[in-house]
Amino acid sequence: MADDARFAYLQARLQARHGDRPAADDWRVAESSTDLSHYLEAIRRTALRRWVGDVNHEMEPEAIERHLRAAWRDHVDQLATWAPVEWRPAVEWLRWLPDLPAVEHLMRGAKVPPWMRADPVLREFAFDEPQRRREALAELPLAPVQPQDESAAPQVVDGWLEEWRRRLPAAGRDPDGELTQSLEAIRDHVETMRSSDDTDGRALRSALAGRLARRFRRGAGTATALFSHLVLDGLELERVRAGVMARRLMPARAEGRSWA
């Protein structure tokens, strides 16, 4: 993708965000905390505070999870407003990523756990009858993840990807293959995580983050930089979530928690 003047404003803002990422020492200080309150205090001294908001040690795990998913959606929506208009639909579609596992759970006809009925996204189609779920989802923004053939097994991630590709602007879809290469790197990462015998995914996630950071720098001023930045943000949030939830659910566990 050739540099486009319309990305200049976006790149400047992304560069500022990118430079504000926590350093290894910031993570080390936060993750040395075995207490959730101390962990959150350390997180709030960095740019990571944008993820945790009012999260505290007294919140129920389900409420914390809802907050983190909402924080991601708000973050994606903000970055979408910075992007050139024709790229906004594709950027906005990333807001649903944290909800996809739960959506697939429901679309496979599984039981509705109580927490889903309190979730502002999932409760719109978390009915006990699978057919009602399909009918309700068809009227919602997430409808494209549902297969048209009701007899087909739901492949929510594939449906999400197909819709994301459809939302890419035709004029600049991916002429030099950079977005496709980034997507393949992410899919390879997921498959490696699934097949790895390593119980700690930290090294694999760090390797992916390194590749995405290089793509961000190499693709400055293009959509590659934008999507690389967003995936890096997703990895960052995933790490914060692991830190928060491990300390909320397993407060007595020794340090050495997995970023998984």
Could you read off the pLDDT of 89-142 as tens digits, one per residue? Answer: 999 999 999 999 999 999 999 999 999 999 999 999 999 999 999 999 999 999
Predicted structure pTM score: 0.89
Cβ pair 257, 243 in contact under 8 A: yes
pLDDT value of residue 250:
87
**The tokens of 245 are what?**
């939830």
The Cα–Cα gap between 191 and 173 comes to: 25
Ramachandran region, residue 200 (left: φ > 0; alpha: ψ -120 to 50; beta: rest): beta
Cβ pair 239, 209 in contact under 8 A: no
What contacts 228, CB < 8 A, 6 or more positions away?
A: 182, 212, 213, 215, 216, 219
- Residue boundaries of the structural domains of the chain: 5-248
The Cα–Cα gap between 143 and 129 comes to: 17
pLDDT value of residue 4:
63
**The tokens of 197 are what?**
């015998």
The Cα–Cα gap between 246 and 108 comes to: 28
pLDDT value of residue 256:
45
What b-and-e string marks burial along 24-46, b requiring 16 or more CB atoms within 10 Å of the CB?
Answer: eebbebbbebbebeebbebbbeb
The Cα–Cα gap between 114 and 123 comes to: 10
Cβ pair 41, 243 in contact under 8 A: no
The segments of the chain whose pLDDT lies below 50 read 1-3, 254, 256-260
Helices of type H across the chain:
8-19, 24-31, 36-43, 49-52, 61-82, 88-92, 100-107, 130-137, 156-167, 178-195, 202-218, 223-249
The Cα–Cα gap between 151 and 158 comes to: 16
The Cα–Cα gap between 61 and 115 comes to: 10
pLDDT value of residue 178:
80
